[in-house]
């Protein structure tokens, strides 16, 4: 089933049309990414509206929609109302998770149809990936692997975190990234105890851990990986914490398969960390879904009540963070299968000392 057909399948008693305002849903339905626009989906027809900056690309590459340009005489709301009239739409489902209050208020005032929230339904299809989506994600992950291999030749004592972050961003684009799936995290020494720390002017020293968390976009799909490396040497305590995190991740991956709850996968990894005496230092969930967004459903965390399905994609990223000392996180991306999972992150996970 084409993605636009999935959207059409939602139409019925709750709504006879969909208003797609987010870049993610427009990309999903049209199978092509346009930075700005709005789309209408109905059983009688589908239209995609964008302005002169993107109209040529939209006309050439968007599938399943009649593409129309917006301008001062034909703003988005006028184009949407024309579609409402032409297709006999009375109720539009919208993505409340992506609209601001101001945007929703403007649509409610100007559109000739009732608006009903349908974010969960509209985005519900994205959890289970199509084969072509998985191919894009494998390629995105391949790019991050290549970038990490190159970074292992660039990390050196005497660099600042900001300098290393700049090198990482260069490597990501150089190896085929079409954008960053999020702002990379590059931290060192005591800053590695900050799970989402920000690169600073701190100088990397011998005996530091360096944590790099990064990803790219490829055809709009995200990759995500984290590696923690040591510079010069690692203490016995650093090795113990690192190996505990690694064993936790391997336990989580071993529990990863279709048919289990997300929280069961988290528990398998978390128990390893608890048994090692570091339970209080693992504060976040084991994993999150990713695809068009780097954080999307489903989640493999302590609250993960979703039954995981074949071709769902999540991260696998346990961590231990000792305040004021150091932290370790190792992150891969896995695709769920009936009998296990496919780990699409190929970078080595043994403790690397540079």
SS3 327: strand
CA–CA distance from 171 to each of 140, 141, 168, 329 (Å)? 13, 13, 5, 21
The predicted pLDDT at position 290 comes to 97
- Reported as a single tens digit per residue, the pLDDT across 80-129 is 999 999 999 999 999 999 999 999 999 999 999 999 999 999 999 999 99
The DSSP code for 182 is S
The DSSP code for 219 is T
Residue 337 predicted with pLDDT over 80: yes
The predicted pLDDT at position 2 comes to 86
- Reported as a single tens digit per residue, the pLDDT across 11-34 is 999 999 999 999 999 999 999 999
CA–CA dist 312, 262 (Å, integer): 11
**Domain ranges across the chain:** 3-126, 128-343
- Reported as a single tens digit per residue, the pLDDT across 299-313 is 999 999 999 999 999
- Reported as a single tens digit per residue, the pLDDT across 177-222 is 999 999 999 999 999 999 999 999 999 999 999 999 999 999 999 9
Domain at 128-343: CATH architecture: Alpha-Beta Complex (3.90)
Q: Return the exposure string of 301-310: e unless at least 16 CB atoms fall within 10 Å of the residue's CB, then b.
A: beebebebee
Q: Contact, 290 vs 24, CB < 8 A?
A: no
The predicted pLDDT at position 192 comes to 98
- To 5 degrees, how large is the angle CA 327–CA 328–CA 334? 145
Q: Contact, 306 vs 298, CB < 8 A?
A: yes
The DSSP code for 235 is -
CA–CA dist 161, 209 (Å, integer): 12
CA–CA dist 183, 169 (Å, integer): 9
Residue 1 predicted with pLDDT over 80: no
Contacts 24+ apart (CB under 8 A), 148-152: 148/212, 148/225, 148/227, 148/347, 149/347, 150/174, 150/175, 151/212, 152/229, 152/352, 152/354
| Orientation of helix 236-254 relative to helix 262-275, angle to 10° | 150
The predicted pLDDT at position 191 comes to 98
The DSSP code for 348 is -
CA–CA distance from 243 to each of 208, 237, 268, 279 (Å)? 16, 10, 16, 15
Q: Could you tell me what percent of the chain has a pLDDT over 90?
A: 99
The predicted pLDDT at position 271 comes to 98
- The answer to whether 3-126 and 128-343 have equal CATH topology is no
| Orientation of helix 161-174 relative to helix 131-151, angle to 10° | 130
How many helices and strands, by DSSP H and E, does the chain display?
10, 18
- Range 226-247 average pLDDT: 98
Domain at 3-126: CATH architecture: 3-Layer(aba) Sandwich (3.40)
Q: Contact, 155 vs 232, CB < 8 A?
A: no
CA–CA dist 245, 320 (Å, integer): 7
Cα(first)–Cα(last) distance of the chain, in Å? Answer: 48
> pTM of this prediction?
0.94
Q: What is the mean pLDDT of the chain?
A: 97
**Residues in CB range of 37: below 8 A, 6 or more apart:** 26, 48, 49, 50, 51, 54, 58
Structure tokens at 187: 């931290």
The predicted pLDDT at position 99 comes to 95
Distance of CA 332 to the CA centre of its chain: 13
Structure tokens at 167: 């090198």
Q: Contact, 333 vs 225, CB < 8 A?
A: yes
The predicted pLDDT at position 226 comes to 98
CA–CA dist 235, 326 (Å, integer): 11
The predicted pLDDT at position 238 comes to 98
- Range 145-159 average pLDDT: 97
């Amino acid at each position: 089933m084409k993605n636009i057909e999935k959207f059409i399948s939602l139409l019925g008693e709750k709504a006879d049309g969909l208003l797609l305002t987010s870049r993610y849903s427009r990309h999903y339905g049209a199978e092509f990414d346009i930075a700005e626009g709005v789309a209408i989906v109905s059983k009688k027809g589908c239209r995609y509206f964008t302005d002169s900056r993107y109209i040529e690309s939209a006309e050439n590459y968007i599938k399943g929609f009649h593409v129309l340009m917006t301008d001062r005489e034909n703003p988005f709301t006028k184009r949407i109302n024309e579609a409402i009239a032409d297709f006999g739409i009375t109720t539009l489902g919208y993505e409340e998770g992506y609209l601001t209050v101001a945007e929703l208020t403007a649509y409610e005032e100007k559109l000739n149809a009732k608006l009903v929230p349908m974010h969960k339904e509209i985005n519900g299809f994205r959890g289970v990936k199509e084969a072509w989506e998985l191919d894009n994600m494998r390629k995105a992950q391949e790019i991050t692997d290549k970038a990490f291999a190159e970074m292992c030749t660039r990390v050196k004592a005497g660099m600042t975190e900001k300098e290393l972050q700049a090198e990482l961003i260069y490597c990501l684009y150089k190896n085929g990234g079409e954008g960053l799936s999020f702002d990379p995290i590059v931290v060192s020494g005591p800053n590695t105890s900050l799970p989402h720390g920000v690169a600073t002017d701190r100088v990397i020293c011998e005996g530091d851990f360096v944590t790099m968390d990064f990803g790219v976009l490829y055809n709009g799909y995200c990759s995500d990986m984290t590696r923690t490396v040591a510079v010069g040497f690692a203490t016995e305590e650093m090795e113990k914490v690192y190996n505990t995190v690694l064993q936790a991740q391997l336990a989580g991956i071993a529990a990863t398969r279709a048919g289990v709850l997300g929280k069961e996968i988290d528990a398998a990894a978390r128990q390893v960390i608890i048994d090692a005496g570091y339970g209080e230092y693992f504060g976040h969930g084991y994993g999150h879904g990713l695809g068009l967004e780097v954080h999307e459903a489903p989640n493999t965390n302590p609250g993960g009540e979703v039954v995981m399905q074949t071709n769902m994609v999540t991260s696998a990223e346990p961590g231990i963070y000792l305040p004021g000392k150091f932290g370790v996180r190792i992150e891969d991306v896995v695709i769920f299968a009936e009998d296990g999972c496919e780990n699409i992150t190929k970078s080595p996970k043994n403790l690397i000392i540079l």
